[in-house]
Each structure stands twice: as structure tokens, then as C-alpha cells.
Amino acid sequence: MGAGKAVAAVCAAVALAGCGGDDKPNQTLPSAPDTIDFSTPSFEDGGAIPKDLTCDGAGKKPTLAYRALPAGAIELVLVVQDPDAPNGTFTHWTAWSIAAAPGGGLAPDGRFPAGVKEGKNSAGKDGWTPPCPPKGDDAHHYVFSLYALDKGLELEPGASPEAVEGVLDGALGRGTFTGTYKR
């Protein structure tokens, strides 16, 4: 296992354990086979997130790339969380109705094809909220997780993070990568 994959595995384990947060329901994401090759060309897995993708820059969404989707996958669901947030895990972005196209896909600057729905983040807004940890905190870990489901979801746009996380049980597979940011 390469250093980047090892860091990702540790960060995913931290996120799944709910470390850094309180014991609110749905603070952890369910496990699934780690079969999806999920990454970003914007930063290395386990590396620092560039300033232009944060609240200290333009707050842009990162480009996302995914391949090696499991057989039977119909829909993909994205969840981005900061397990180091002071008040418990903070969900930065949820998106679903991402078609599980053979061969994978690419979301340049976080733009998925038409039809993708986004939910509320922990700030109560729809879509992406960029990393913005409190000044003086140690670097926060931002865990990007992509799940493959064998069914389509009927969630309405603007669904809560808990509603999105609640449909991930039984996923066919997932992929994760992690970025860090400190102000």
C-alpha cells in the first residue's frame, strides 16, 4: 500500500469512527467495499487542499474523477465531510443521481452532468461549502466519499445530510480520498 493510500485509509477510518465530533446520529458513513478508484487532480490524496478551493480563496469545487465502478452500479452518491469540526462532523457537500456510467466519469470543477441533485450541507445551504476551519485549529481532514448504489434514489434536491447518509447502507462499493486544510 502506497503512502497516499495508507493516509486515505487512516483518514477514512477516523471519519468512520466519528473522531473529532460528538455522538450525534448519522455522524459516520457506512462501510462498503473499497472498490471505486476516486480521486482529484486538484491535490494529492492526504495532501493540502489548494487555497482557491477554500474559504480563503475562491471556494471552488475540486475536479473529481472516478472509475472502476462495481458491477450492477446504477447511481453514485457523493458525501464530503470534515470529521475534525469543533461541533462534530460537518458535511460540506452531498450530491446524488450521478449516473454510474461504464468506465467512470469526470466532474470538472465539481460540475456533474445535468440531472445531478445536491443536498443541504451542515451550514444549511444547498451544494458545496468550501473548507474553512477555525483559525488556529490544527489541519482539518476533508474526506471525499463516493458510493455506488444498485438503485436510483428518490430524494428531493435540498435533502438533509442525514437523509443522504441514510440511503448508503448496502452500497455496492465506495472510493475515498482526503485533503487537509489549515488556516
- Average pLDDT of span 11-24: 35
Listed residue (47, 79, 66, 86) closest to 178, CA to CA: 47
Q: Identify whether the C-beta of residue 117 lies closer than 8 Å to the C-beta of residue 96.
A: yes
Q: How many CB atoms lie within 10 A of CB 164?
A: 26
Per-residue pLDDT tens digits for 78-104? 999 999 999 999 999 999 999 998 888
Q: Which residues contact 145 (CB under 8 A, 6 or more apart)?
A: 12, 15, 29, 38, 78, 79, 80, 81, 174, 175, 176
Whether pLDDT at 21 is above 80: no
Whether pLDDT at 153 is above 60: yes
Q: Identify whether the C-beta of residue 99 lies closer than 8 Å to the C-beta of residue 113.
A: yes
Please indicate whether residue 22 or residue 94 has the higher confidence score (pLDDT): 94
With H, G, I as helix, E, B as strand and everything else as coil, classify residue 105. strand
Per-residue pLDDT tens digits for 158-178? 999 999 999 999 999 999 999
Q: Does 1.10.8.60 match the CATH number of domain 3-21+32-181?
A: no
Q: Identify whether the C-beta of residue 94 lies closer than 8 Å to the C-beta of residue 164.
A: yes
Q: In the structure grid, which three cell numbers stand for residue 148, read together? A: 455506488
Percent of the chain past pLDDT 90, that is, above it, reads: 79
Domain boundaries along the sequence of the chain: 3-21+32-181
pLDDT score of 41: 97
The residue behind cell 450530491 is 95
